[in-house]
Structure 1
Amino acid sequence: MSFVLTEDQDMLRETAMAFVQGELPVSHLRALRDKGANGDDAATRKKLAELGFFGVIIPDEPGAETFGLVGLGQILEAQGRTLAATPLLQTALIAASALQLGGTPAQKAEWLPKIAAGEATFALALDESAHFSPYTIATEAERDGQGFTLNGLKKYVPDGHYADVFIVAARTFGEAGDRHGISLFLVPKGAKGVTVTALKTVDSHGAAHISFEDVHVADAALIGPADQGADILDPVLDRAAIGMSAEMLGSAQAAFDMTLDYLNNRKQFGQLIGSFQSLQHRAAKMFVELEMTRSCVAAALGAVDAGKADVAELASLAKAKAGELVHLVSNECVQMHGGIGMTDAAEPGFYMKRARVQEALYGSASWHRDRYARLNGF
């Protein structure tokens, strides 16, 4: 498997890096936080749409080539470097993938062009407990003769506080914990019975609890066959984990670069602190972990585009490694900056807080290590 970007993908990467550094530095996130925007940034969404970033995996016409998940991964890594709060993961990756994998021709025709144009934002309403558990779905979707009626509560839905449409995982058969019996529905934010409770999150990106009380949806809202939503949800969550891993790689790289710069400029006892061997060892460990994770993420991104059979294994490998990496580097970034690293005036704390959310979304490192073992027969 080649880890080398094509010329077009490399140009996309350079464009994304230049954009986030010029338009979305950490100071931009700080400004959003200070004015209470909670990650909701319509102006940035417009700019992302103008750059075509929402349509990176959506072909202009059936069968046309795209930048693929490898291309989108470069954009997600770029936004991770500056902790940019955008709907790209939820809308351009998760929603686009769900529609491409399971949507009807009518759903694709209606929503994919709107996603590509940045005209509609989505959020995956999945989790119902404090921890990631994709089959622990108790939200009910009962047949009512002319569609389905949804009742339940979804917790901590990223982008849920401003998304236009929710992709809701609900149970049409069986009990919570069963893989069979899960169905996916498209539910507009303004549907009667939908209540959005915005959350102020530690990473300043925002999220929401979403409740559904006797929410009626037509049969046309169903993505894929009833009771078989897990067959769509599983590969979508693999892609979500891979995309998040790419973002985490970017965050870890930026935190490492910031730390290295500090080590090479901060003097103590008349010496650069980067000359202290114990700190050199810690920096070397971070560098090695960064390079290993970069390979894991590249392999997972490429496997999706190539249609490999081991995407699930590579997704869990990438997310586990990226989770361990971003935890390590964000901690070291704060610690090696010393007292200044603990202040809100400095940037290390922003990376640590975002890292804690990234680690948990779409499965922790321990969750994915366990899954990787199970996929390999252990």
Structure 2
Amino acid sequence: MDFDLTEDQRLLTESVVRLLGDTYSFEQRKQMLSLPNGYSERLWRQYAELGLLGLPFAEDFGGFGGGPVDVMLLMQAFGRHLVLEPYLATVVLSGTALRLAGSDAQQAEIIPAIVSGKTTLAFAHYERQARYDMTDVLTAAKHQDDWLLDGAKSVVLHGDTADQLLVSARTSGERDDPQGLSLFMVDASSPGITRHGYALRDGSRAAEISFSSVHLPTEALLGEQDNALPVIERVVQAGIAATAAEVVGGMETLQAMTLDYLRTRQQFGRPIGENQALQHRAAEMLVNLEQGRSMAMLATMMLGEPDPAERARNISLAKVGVGQAGRFVSQNAIQLHGGIGMTDEYAAGHFFRRIMVFEHLFGDIAYHLDKLADDID
């Protein structure tokens, strides 16, 4: 298998590295956290100018026409700087749903607005009682003259600031029925919608969203009625691959920070990195980083796998592998830094918290291990 980057991919990586190197220092990021939306709208426009928001979309809609590898490279770069902008929510999650299920008219209307940076989206699927179960949906949509939406969604990434919400709802069947789920495009300013925004442990934004008798036009339905679960599964798998790549970027930065600290921190008149036990620990961190990188690449490659069972199994394997590697690298980075590692004034603790948040998105390690065990049975 050829792992060399194409010329376009090299240029993409170089341009993103330059942009983030100039605009995303640790101090600059802390300033962005205090902005009204929790991220920089100016940088979001710059992403649009560079074509980053159109990366996975077809050229017919103003996109770049890229694939999963292009997104992986971008997310790794984002992970090195703890990027706050809603790329995952808008381009990866909602964008995947649009590309898979959107009608020609829906794609022609919404995708160019995403590519130009004029609109942001949030994917609202998980509910409080469901934990990670993708079929456990109580939010319901009933069709009369139009659609009437009622229910609530939990931990909606960037749901407090999104212009549009991509909402899953039950249109038939019982609570845990795999059939009967549908997806809807919902204007976030529609009457009957209440959003409570908050910061996650890593500073990124999420929201609890409730829907009370929200009227939706017939054309708000995205894709096939009652058969949205395969699309939802593909959206979640794209999210797992993207966050796995971002965790790899975070581990790279933590590894570099830790090595630098071991070289410069003096104790008893010599660098602590001369201690052989600490050298062994740093070597184990590197091994875990590379194992995590391999698993993130597996998740990216599996996005194109046509067999749903094989794709799901391998992406669960990748989720477990990257989660275990991220936990090992981040915990050991904190331990080797000592008390300074968890202070708000030092970047290491922020990377640790981001990696821990990602471990619990789209199912934690235990959840995916259970899935893999069920497959064996």
Report the TM range for the smaller structure's normalisation.
over 0.9
State the partner residue of 1:17.
17
1:318 aligns with 2:318: yes
Write out aligned runs for 1:229-244 (5 A).
Answer: 229-244=228-243
C-alpha RMSD of matched pairs (Å):
2.0
Q: CA deviation at 1:330?
A: 1.8
**For residues 318 and 39 of structure 1, do their structure 2 counterparts lie closer, same or farther at Cα, with a shift above 3 Å needed?**
farther
State the partner residue of 1:45.
44
Write out aligned runs for 1:1-378 (5 A).
Answer: 1-33=1-33, 35=34, 37=36, 39-61=38-60, 66-129=65-128, 131-143=131-143, 145-305=144-304, 310-375=310-375, 377-378=376-377
Please state whether the residue corresponding to 2:315 is helix, strand or coil: helix
**For residues 88 and 171 of structure 1, do their structure 2 counterparts lie closer, same or farther at Cα, with a shift above 3 Å needed?**
same
Please state whether the residue corresponding to 2:168 is helix, strand or coil: strand
Contact residue 38 and residue 204 of structure 1 kept, 8 A: no
Range 325-334 or range 297-306, more displaced: 297-306
Deviations 1:314-362 (A, max 9, x none): 3222222221222222222221111221322111111122122111111
Q: Kindly provide the amino acid, as one letter, of the partner of residue 346 in structure 2.
A: A
Matches of 1:36 and 1:133, distance apart in 2: 34
Deviations 1:32-76 (A, max 9, x none): 23x3546232112111111110100111128x9722111011111
Compute the TM-score of the two structures, normalised by the length of structure 1. Answer: 0.94
Q: What number of residue pairs does the alignment pair up?
A: 375
**For residues 84 and 222 of structure 1, do their structure 2 counterparts lie closer, same or farther at Cα, with a shift above 3 Å needed?**
same
Q: Kindly provide the amino acid, as one letter, of the partner of residue 369 in structure 1.
A: L
| Consecutive aligned runs of 4 or more in structure 1 exceeding 6 Å deviation | none
Q: CA deviation at 1:308?
A: 6.7
Contact residue 70 and residue 305 of structure 1 kept, 8 A: no
Please state whether the residue corresponding to 2:3 is helix, strand or coil: coil
Q: CA deviation at 1:28?
A: 2.2
Contact residue 77 and residue 246 of structure 2 kept, 8 A: yes
Q: Kindly provide the amino acid, as one letter, of the partner of residue 209 in structure 1.
A: E
Compute the TM-score of the two structures, normalised by the length of structure 2. Answer: 0.94
Contact residue 316 and residue 368 of structure 2 kept, 8 A: yes
Q: Kindly provide the amino acid, as one letter, of the partner of residue 303 in structure 1.
A: M
Please state whether the residue corresponding to 1:153 is helix, strand or coil: strand
Matches of 1:239 and 1:70, distance apart in 2: 11
**For residues 65 and 43 of structure 1, do their structure 2 counterparts lie closer, same or farther at Cα, with a shift above 3 Å needed?**
closer
Matches of 2:227 and 2:25, distance apart in 1: 42
Contact residue 132 and residue 360 of structure 1 kept, 8 A: no
Q: CA deviation at 1:14?
A: 2.0
Which structure 2 segments of 5+ residues have no match? none
Q: Kindly provide the amino acid, as one letter, of the partner of residue 258 in structure 2.
A: T
Please state whether the residue corresponding to 2:84 is helix, strand or coil: coil
